[in-house]
Structure 1
């Protein structure tokens, strides 16, 4: 629902640079807080040791790097805004699948942790949906097609959550802890490598036109 909320927001009047920056930074803060305060401590409480925990944090970071690599390879073959829209949609859809597992896995460990994790993910899903919709509108896509692209990204998160929910009976506490650590690493990587740098860059613009477009275009 939060991802889909980005669609009507993109269709409204253009938001200020400062507003967009604050949205990104707020989303990053929520994800960092959920990872550090909720997910990682909950996982460490039931995990088998620091070495095992560090391994699954590394696995999560590896998933993030793989998604970025796939996005970069697709970007090389993207043509104009239509290609950029496709790349962004695919990238966000891919990373929404493991995100979808986070709230269910966290709630399986502790309901409060699950609620906090769900709220944090929802906050950062709004600018994700907005990014896809803004690019699609800029590329000249129809409202129906634009909504479809945003919906694909949202459905991916639902599928990730449903996959964990259906198999929850076979999930051991150890597997749950591994999932929490991997998703926490993905969320931290997104926050520190993408959301925070982009938010700071937007704040530094101070209403000026950036030399490099915020929305990726084909030069």
Structure 2
């Protein structure tokens, strides 16, 4: 087996780790009474929101800047994505119920993380040029990174009222996106243009920040504020 084939294999394994997020999310939100499930879902949304903010701020935005974007240009794309989402959200809200809005946000989370996963698969195979050890190390770090991504997609979808089967499907699509990115680079030596990839990364970061700040964190705090078992808001 060639080193390039090994890189593809470990990339597929890393992508599969995204799927672990679904059973973990089901464990968080199943069993017990309705109040306990709501509390668990609220804390999970809080954790997912904070995690997405950290991923956007610590990983996505710096990666775009390091790829050659100026800080000003990166901030401009980020603000454009944030404003675009907020304007779209406000306009559509006039014609949608609160439940429909949350479902839309859940789908946006899934789409954002799925787009984010596409270049990650290619990155693992591409890192093989520095040696198979580099590919394995990259895959290992991304595999651990993929588990909370899968949890975030599934938890937000379940909290929005999607059926478990639909939540599982969204997680599967995200995992397949990373796998397809790896396969495309392996089979065709295809790598997206660096500037295009950076723009996509910044838009994804903007979506993650907007959804966390506009939807996930406020909803989590509202749920926890009504929970008599909590003490931080007394």
Q: TM-score range by the shorter chain?
A: 0.5 to 0.7
How many pairs does the alignment contain?
A: 190
Change over 3 Å in CA distance of 1:54–1:167 after alignment to 2:
farther
The answer for the alignment partner of 1:154 in structure 2 is 171
Task: Tell me if 1:118 matches 2:137.
Answer: no
How far apart are residue 205 of structure 1 and its match?
1.6
Q: 2:51 aligns with which of 5, 14, 30?
A: 30
Consecutive unaligned residues in structure 2, runs of 5 or more:
1-18, 125-137, 230-234
User: SS state of the match for residue 176, structure 1?
Assistant: helix
Determine the C-alpha separation between the residues in 1 that align with 2:142 and 2:174.
15
Q: 1:103 aligns with which of 117, 130, 155?
A: 117
Q: Deviations over 1:65-115 (max 9, x none)?
A: 366357525525x9xxxxx4x664454224422320213334655737745
- Give the 5 Å matches for 1:19-58: 19-58=40-79
Alignment TM-score, normalising by the size of structure 2: 0.62
Which protein shows a greater Rg? Answer: 2
- Give the 5 Å matches for 1:86-97: 88-97=102-111
How far apart are residue 156 of structure 1 and its match?
4.9
Alignment TM-score, normalising by the size of structure 1: 0.66
- Give the 5 Å matches for 1:174-185: 174-185=195-206
Does the 8 A contact of 1:57 with 1:182 survive in 2?
yes
The answer for the alignment partner of 1:213 in structure 2 is none
How far apart are residue 62 of structure 1 and its match?
4.5
Measured on the aligned residues, the alpha-carbon RMSD in Å equals 3.5
Change over 3 Å in CA distance of 1:95–1:127 after alignment to 2:
closer
The answer for the alignment partner of 1:188 in structure 2 is 209
